[in-house]
């Protein structure tokens, strides 16, 4: 049976541990992008493809892998995905050139979408229906904690001991996460038992609902705007705001605090009113990004903008995930994985547009302006 006590189900802790490791892999490279670019002798936009390539691979893996394992028990699938994560980060740690580094990023990314997509369904099945957005937020809390603690520490580690040391540390964390999943995830979750045995065909049927597709578009645009602004944040902080490179890790701590708070508050608000929460959060996020772009030359206002961007950016995650699971409620696994893919397709879109604006000579605040435009478009679709 599913755990439905008011206390925190231990399975959620396991999922958060896995999310912590994956969050490190996805986000830590942003603070290390200048070091990686210099090591491989590539330009900033080319180095940025290590972020965009990861995000695109998540988009592919989130759908393809979830579809491939839809009939399999979820615990073994989650364990297998974490093994893939470990292999990918090990490749990144030993990469001798840019191509191997990209290969490692792609391998690690393939597990990302399926892990969060399946994990969100498992998390929702561990609690009562009225607490499901909060449970999803708890799993994603691992991702935000990675930003509060892991990413700044990983950036510090990479700046002082070489960026490869960060990926060795992530590989070790992946092993810890694997053990946590093996010990704490129930062998069989209620979410599996509650769904009709329609297999892949039943899961695909959810995509006949127009609101499922609109949910995916909102995710791509709404979250992609924040991520696009964040992709080149190390350059914005040092070249526009005037911060020393050594302060970047500590500034990322503040961004991570915003992520953590926004994720949990967004989950609680979505449990009360899903649609209203999304409208408010996307509207405020657009305003925050515009304000950041206008005031990025001010160190004090930049700090405020970082916290708010993280807070309202990640406040979108639980309600966006709940929205698609609501409209695909009879077969949510593949739709949930597709929405994780949509998050990362938005990441890739935002990072790519940001790189284009920088390459066009528009400066290091141009990705923030582009991000505001994407988020506004997401609000318009909603």
Model pLDDT, residue 272? 84
The one-character DSSP state at 206 is G
Rounded Cα distance between 314 and 347, Å, is: 13
Residue 2 has pLDDT above 80, yes or no: no
**Does 365 have pLDDT greater than 70?**
yes
Cα 206 to Cα 204: distance, rounded to the nearest angstrom:
5
* Domains along the sequence of the chain with CATH: 9-187 (1.20.1250.20), 206-381 (1.20.1250.20)
Q: Which structure tokens are listed for 324?
A: 């698609």
Label residue 243 left, alpha or beta by phi (over 0 means left) and psi (-120 to 50 means alpha). Answer: beta
Q: Which alpha helices (DSSP H) does 232-247 contain, by range?
A: 233-235
pLDDT in tens, 184-225: 877 764 444 444 445 667 677 777 788 889 999 999 999 888
pTM comes to: 0.73
Q: What is the reported pLDDT for 188?
A: 64
CA distance 66 to 179: 22
Q: How far apart are alpha carbons 95 and 100 in whole angstroms?
A: 5
What secondary structure letter does DSSP report for 148? I
For the cut 70, the answer to whether the pLDDT of residue 352 exceeds it is: yes
Give the separation between CA 53 and CA 55, rounded to whole angstroms.
Answer: 5
Q: State the Rg of the chain over Cα.
A: 19
Q: What pLDDT does residue 200 have? A: 66
Confidence of residue 285 (pLDDT cuts 50, 70, 90): very high
Residues of the chain with pLDDT > 70: what percent?
Answer: 93
Buried b / exposed e across 237-253, counting CB within 10 Å, b at 16+?
A: bbebbebeeeebbebbb
Cα maximum dimension of the chain: 58
Average pLDDT over residues 269-284: 90
Query: Token pair for residue 296?
Result: 């990025």
How far is residue 65's CA from residue 201's CA, in Å, rounded to a whole number?
Answer: 15
Span 39-45, average pLDDT: 80
Q: What's the rounded Cα separation, in Å, for the pair 362 and 367? A: 9
Query: How would you class 116 by CB atoms within 10 Å of its CB: exposed for 0-12, middle for 13-18, buried for 19 or more?
Result: buried
- Tens digit of each residue's pLDDT (9 = 90 or more) over 102-121: 999 999 988 887 888 788 77
**Cβ pair 16, 185 in contact under 8 A:** no
CA terminus-to-terminus distance, the chain: 36
Count of C-beta atoms within a 10 Å radius of residue 90: 18
């Amino acid at each position: 049976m599913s755990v439905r006590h008011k206390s925190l189900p231990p399975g959620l802790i396991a999922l958060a541990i896995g999310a912590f490791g994956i969050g490190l892999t996805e986000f830590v490279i942003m603070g290390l992008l200048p070091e990686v670019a210099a090591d491989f002798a590539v330009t900033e936009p080319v180095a940025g493809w290590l972020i965009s390539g990861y995000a695109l691979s998540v988009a592919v893996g989130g759908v393809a892998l979830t579809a491939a394992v839809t009939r399999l028990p979820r615990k073994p699938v989650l364990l297998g995905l974490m093994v893939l994560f470990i292999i990918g980060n090990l490749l990144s740690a030993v990469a001798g050139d840019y191509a191997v580094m990209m290969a490692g990023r792609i391998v690690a990314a393939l597990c990302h979408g399926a892990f969060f997509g399946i994990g969100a369904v498992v998390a929702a099945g561990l609690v009562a229906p009225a607490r499901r957005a909060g449970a999803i937020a708890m799993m994603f809390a691992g991702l935000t904690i990675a930003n509060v603690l892991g990413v700044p520490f990983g950036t510090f580690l990479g700046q002082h001991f070489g960026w490869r040391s960060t990926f060795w540390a992530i590989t070790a964390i992946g092993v810890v996460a694997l053990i946590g999943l093996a010990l704490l995830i129930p062998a069989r979750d209620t979410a599996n038992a509650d769904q009709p045995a329609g297999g892949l065909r039943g899961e695909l049927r959810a995509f006949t609902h127009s609101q499922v597709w609109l949910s995916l578009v909102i995710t791509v645009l709404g979250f992609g705007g924040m991520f696009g602004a964040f992709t080149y944040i190390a350059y914005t902080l040092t070249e526009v705001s005037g911060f020393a490179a050594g302060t970047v890790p500590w500034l990322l701590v503040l961004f991570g605090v915003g992520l953590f708070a926004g994720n949990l508050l967004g989950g609680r608000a979505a449990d009360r009113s899903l649609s209203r929460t999304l409208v408010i959060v996307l509207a405020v996020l657009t305003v925050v990004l515009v304000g950041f772009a206008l005031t990025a030359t001010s160190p004090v206002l930049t700090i405020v903008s970082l916290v708010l961007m993280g807070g309202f950016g990640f406040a979108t995650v639980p309600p966006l995930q709940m929205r698609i699971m609501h409209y695909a409620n009879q077969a949510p696994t593949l739709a949930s994985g597709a929405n994780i893919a949509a998050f990362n397709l938005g990441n890739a879109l935002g990072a790519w547009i940001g790189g284009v604006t920088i390459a066009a000579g528009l400066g290091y605040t141009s990705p923030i302006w582009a991000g505001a435009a994407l988020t506004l478009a997401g609000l318009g679709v909603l």
